[in-house]
């Protein structure tokens, strides 16, 4: 047992190595040796520091599979680097990363460390505090991003409270700057976005491809045991772990996506199924966010496959827009607003206002005044809403569900009911294998719930049952009727939708994109409105009445 500790011990430095080599701290979200400080000298001159911190693991009740994925990748990355000839200090610590590095530097007398700027704000703050206490570390810009702060500012200018952003402008700028899917200064296919073509439900054809197998090796099995004991009370199932943890397997997963999934991605991007939860989504987000897969390489591969006719243009463009557009856009928004701390919108009742000096408390903007506690259904207690129960069960099992289920089921319901957007964000952060502050806070507080008052999205992404019924097969297996909006067997989503619009008229009534639904609402007779309110209240009370498990 303990094979990892024995293996990595062989890569420990001698005294001279501590002086002669360049020592690089690799943060837990930047496992790659193809860009950045690890490429700047040969392996025989490189020393690597990796910190496995139980302090970080215990900070939230992170999904067990998320911890296995992260720790096993971390351990395999350490061994891969040792195999290249680098010396490795793999430091187990109960301290935070910053404090652990400070202790290690003093203990081993490492004169100077260097690191890539971590993507996660929480880790950046932790390092800054350690630097203030004497840690000697050089933080260099992260070259894995596809855009710079200047790219973002050149489109929107400096952040000021009340400013609203439209992602499309940034995306066009990035297409022009990089030349990706561009010919003679014009977009290939004569349009920048094929989003409107990508909205088909899926009825079983083409069949969903088989997921490749990533059998856990001895090191991963050790990590599974560790997580099962050290983090036993955490969220999520740990069984049937089947995610890549070596560079070779991460690349294999990407090749599988490129060849089998992406050719069908576009048209079915928004489809939802209870019998095919993954459909044609690449599921590479967690690996990209860990640094294992580089966005530049993925974008290049997809562009080249489209060029050779292997992936239809609409699918290729849809995928590239996510990486070159949304992913980059979200991290700039997070940086510009200091994780939404600078937003000038209403703040959630009962939650302390978060400032830069309180790094562990997340911002709780609440432009729509949502502050009801997140109900037990999100923690796995069955609600009877088949769409919600199906997606939550998948998340408990896998730590992942695709974009539209996140947006139009989990966030939609929370927004319609007025559940705390901050609590929902913290839930996503715990529950999803790809969640880190910069990406989860912007997506949930911004795109998912409109808690940011429209900084990220021009209107809330909300709908009644009709959308879910059109895009999924959930409603056919539900006890509620998506065609009815009132009465005990009616789908609660529809009544919740109309009462949401009514409740938020002061904030949303003037939004030009919502004029049509507001006109429909205004035509509803009084007695129907009364019944809709009753149905919505009933649904919220039912969800709120269920006891929530503790994590
Ligand atoms: C409420 C909500 C919460 C989300 N939380 C996260 C999160 O914690 N972490 C995360 O990586 N993504 C998050 N997303 C974005 C998106 O849903 C996931 O990136 C995507 O579902 C991951 O699956 P995939 O790899 O199959 O993605 P694909 O559909 O294959 O998309 C390709 C890649 O584009 C990137 N991407 C796509 N959309 C976004 C986006 N909106 N923001 C950032 N990157 C994007 C991802 O890296 C993804 O792997 C969230 C979206 C919503 C609506
Ligand atoms: S009927 Fe309503 S609750 Fe049931 S699956 Fe459809 S949208 Fe969800």
**How far is Cα 520 from Cα 536, in angstroms, rounded to an integer?**
18
* Residue of 394, 403, 444 to mutate, ligand 1, most atoms within 8 A of C-beta: 403
Of residues 372, 305, 322, 21, the one with CA closest to residue 146: 322
pTM listed for this prediction: 0.96
Closest ligand 1 atom to 289 CA: 11
Pairing mode, strands 22-25 and 113-116: parallel
Of residues 175, 6, 163, the one with CA closest to residue 90: 6
Q: Which ligand is nearest to the CA of 543?
A: 2
Average pLDDT over residues 509-515: 95
* Residue of 462, 491, 492, 543 to mutate, ligand 2, most atoms within 8 A of C-beta: 491
With beta carbons less than 8 A apart as the criterion, state whether 133 and 102 touch: yes
Average pLDDT over residues 134-152: 97
262 C-alpha vs ligand 2 centroid, how far in Å?
A: 29
To which H or E segment does residue 116 belong? strand 113-116
Determine the topology of domain 149-199+207-216+246-327 in CATH. Answer: 1.25.40
Average pLDDT over residues 232-260: 97
Average pLDDT over residues 508-515: 96
* Ligand 2 close to Cβ of residue 387 (< 6 A): yes
218 C-alpha vs ligand 1 centroid, how far in Å?
A: 30
Predicted confidence at residue 313, as pLDDT, reads 94
- Output the six-digit token pair for 436: 């880190």
3-140 belongs to which homologous superfamily? HUPs (3.40.50.620)
Of residues 420, 375, 379, 371, the one with CA closest to residue 396: 379
Q: Identify which has the larger pLDDT, 148 or 342.
A: 148
With beta carbons less than 8 A apart as the criterion, state whether 419 and 338 touch: no
Pairing mode, strands 186-187 and 182-183: antiparallel
Query: Does the pLDDT of residue 547 top 90, yes or no?
Result: no
The residue nearest atom 8 of ligand 2, judged by CA position, is: 387
Closest ligand 1 atom to 448 CA: 1
* Residue of 274, 465, 540 to mutate, ligand 2, most atoms within 8 A of C-beta: 465
Predicted confidence at residue 75, as pLDDT, reads 98
509 C-alpha vs ligand 1 centroid, how far in Å?
A: 30
Q: Which ligand is nearest to the CA of 497?
A: 2
**How far is Cα 365 from Cα 452, in angstroms, rounded to an integer?**
6
With beta carbons less than 8 A apart as the criterion, state whether 61 and 551 touch: yes
Cα dihedral sign, 538-539-542-545: negative
Predicted confidence at residue 471, as pLDDT, reads 95
With beta carbons less than 8 A apart as the criterion, state whether 26 and 48 touch: yes
The residue nearest atom 6 of ligand 2, judged by CA position, is: 475
Instruction: Quickly state the pLDDT bin for 283 (edges 50, 70, 90).
Output: very high
Q: Tell which CATH architecture fits domain 376-545.
A: Orthogonal Bundle (1.10)
Query: Does the pLDDT of residue 355 top 70, yes or no?
Result: no
Closest ligand 2 atom to 464 CA: 7
Instruction: Quickly state the pLDDT bin for 160 (edges 50, 70, 90).
Output: confident
215 C-alpha vs ligand 1 centroid, how far in Å?
A: 25
Predicted confidence at residue 550, as pLDDT, reads 80
Q: Which ligand is nearest to the CA of 430?
A: 1
Query: Does the pLDDT of residue 356 top 80, yes or no?
Result: no
pLDDT digits (tens, 9 = 90+) for 391-443: 999 999 999 999 999 999 999 999 999 999 999 999 999 999 999 999 999 99
Average pLDDT, the chain: 94
- Output the six-digit token pair for 473: 């097969």
Q: Which ligand is nearest to the CA of 483?
A: 2
Instruction: Quickly state the pLDDT bin for 548 (edges 50, 70, 90).
Output: confident
Domain spans in the chain, listed from the N-terminal domain onward: 3-140, 149-199+207-216+246-327, 376-545
400 C-alpha vs ligand 1 centroid, how far in Å?
A: 10
Query: Does the pLDDT of residue 349 top 90, yes or no?
Result: no
Of residues 126, 123, 168, 162, the one with CA closest to residue 142: 123
Percent of residues, the chain, with pLDDT higher than 90: 90
Query: Does the pLDDT of residue 354 top 80, yes or no?
Result: no
Query: Does the pLDDT of residue 359 top 60, yes or no?
Result: no
Predicted confidence at residue 364, as pLDDT, reads 93
Q: Which ligand is nearest to the CA of 120?
A: 1
> DSSP character for 18?
H
* Ligand 2 close to Cβ of residue 482 (< 6 A): yes
- Output the six-digit token pair for 261: 């999934």
Of 23-37, 57-71, 94-108, 186-200, the one with minimum mean pLDDT is 186-200
Average pLDDT over residues 181-208: 89
Query: Does the pLDDT of residue 165 top 70, yes or no?
Result: yes
The residue nearest atom 2 of ligand 2, judged by CA position, is: 491
With beta carbons less than 8 A apart as the criterion, state whether 380 and 393 touch: yes
pLDDT digits (tens, 9 = 90+) for 205-227: 999 999 899 999 999 999 999 99
- Output the six-digit token pair for 16: 């001279």
Query: Does the pLDDT of residue 1 top 60, yes or no?
Result: no
Predicted confidence at residue 196, as pLDDT, reads 75
Q: Identify which has the larger pLDDT, 411 or 163.
A: 411
Predicted confidence at residue 91, as pLDDT, reads 97
Instruction: Quickly state the pLDDT bin for 332 (edges 50, 70, 90).
Output: very high
Protein residues with CB under 6 Å of any ligand 1 atom: 281-285, 288-289, 319, 322-323, 326-327, 330, 402-403, 406-407, 411, 428, 432, 434-435, 439-440, 443-444, 447-448
Query: Does the pLDDT of residue 385 top 80, yes or no?
Result: yes
């Amino acid at each position: 047992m303990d094979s990892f500790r024995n293996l990595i011990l062989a890569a420990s430095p001698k005294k001279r190595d501590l002086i002669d080599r360049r020592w690089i701290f690799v943060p837990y979200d930047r496992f790659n040796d193809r860009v950045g400080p690890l490429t700047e000298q040969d392996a025989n001159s490189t020393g690597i520091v990796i910190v496995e911190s139980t302090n970080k693991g215990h900070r939230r009740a992170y999904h067990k599979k998320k911890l296995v994925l992260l720790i096993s990748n971390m351990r395999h990355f350490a061994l891969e680097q040792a195999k290249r000839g680098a010396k490795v200090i793999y430091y187990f610590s109960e301290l935070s990363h910053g404090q652990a590095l400070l202790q290690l530097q003093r203990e081993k007398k490492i004169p100077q460390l260097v690191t890539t700027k971590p993507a996660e704000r929480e880790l950046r703050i932790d390092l800054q505090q350690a630097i203030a206490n004497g840690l000697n570390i050089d933080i260099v810009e992260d070259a894995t991003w596809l855009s710079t702060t200047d790219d973002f500012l050149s489109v929107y200018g400096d952040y000021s409270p009340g400013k609203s952003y439209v992602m499309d402008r940034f995306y066009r700028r990035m297409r022009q700057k990089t030349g990706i899917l561009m010919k003679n200064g014009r977009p290939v296919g004569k349009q920048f976005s094929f989003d409107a073509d990508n909205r088909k439900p899926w009825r079983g054809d083409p069949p969903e491809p088989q997921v490749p197998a990533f059998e856990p090796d001895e090191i991963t099995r050790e990590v599974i045991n560790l997580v099962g004991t050290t983090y036993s009370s955490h969220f999520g199932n740990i069984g049937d772990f089947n995610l890549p943890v070596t560079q070779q397997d991460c690349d294999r997963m990407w090749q599988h996506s490129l060849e089998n999934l992406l050719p069908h991605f576009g048209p079915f991007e928004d489809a939802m199924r209870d019998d095919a939860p993954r459909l044609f989504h690449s599921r590479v987000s967690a690996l990209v966010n860990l640094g294992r897969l580089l966005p530049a390489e993925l974008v290049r591969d997809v562009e080249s496959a489209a060029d050779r006719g292997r992936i239809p243009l609409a699918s290729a463009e849809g995928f590239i827009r996510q990486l070159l557009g949304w992913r980059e856009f979200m991290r700039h928004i997070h940086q510009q607003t200091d994780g939404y701390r600078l937003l000038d919108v209403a703040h959630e009742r009962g939650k302390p206002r978060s400032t830069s000096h309180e790094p562990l408390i997340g911002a709780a903007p609440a432009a729509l005044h949502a502050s009801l506690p997140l109900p037990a259904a999100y923690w796995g207690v069955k609600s009877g809403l088949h769409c919600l129960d199906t997606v939550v069960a998948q998340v408990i099992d896998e730590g992942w569900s695709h974009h539209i289920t996140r947006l139009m089921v989990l966030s939609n319901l929370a927004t319609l009911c007025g559940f705390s957007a901050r609590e929902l964000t913290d839930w996503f952060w715990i529950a999803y294998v790809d969640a880190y502050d910069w990406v989860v806070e912007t997506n949930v507080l911004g795109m998912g719930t409109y808690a940011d008052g429209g900084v990220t999205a021009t209107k809330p992404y909300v709908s009644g049952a009709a959308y879910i019924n059109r895009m999924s097969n959930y409603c056919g297996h539900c006890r509620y009727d998506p065609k009815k909006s009132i009465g005990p067997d009616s789908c609660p989503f529809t009544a919740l939708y109309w009462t949401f619009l009514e409740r938020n008229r002061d904030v949303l009534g003037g939004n030009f994109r919502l004029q049509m639904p507001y006109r429909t609402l205004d035509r509803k007779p009084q007695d129907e409105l009364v019944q809709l309110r009753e149905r919505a209240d009933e649904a919220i009370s039912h969800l709120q009445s269920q006891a929530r498990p503790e994590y």
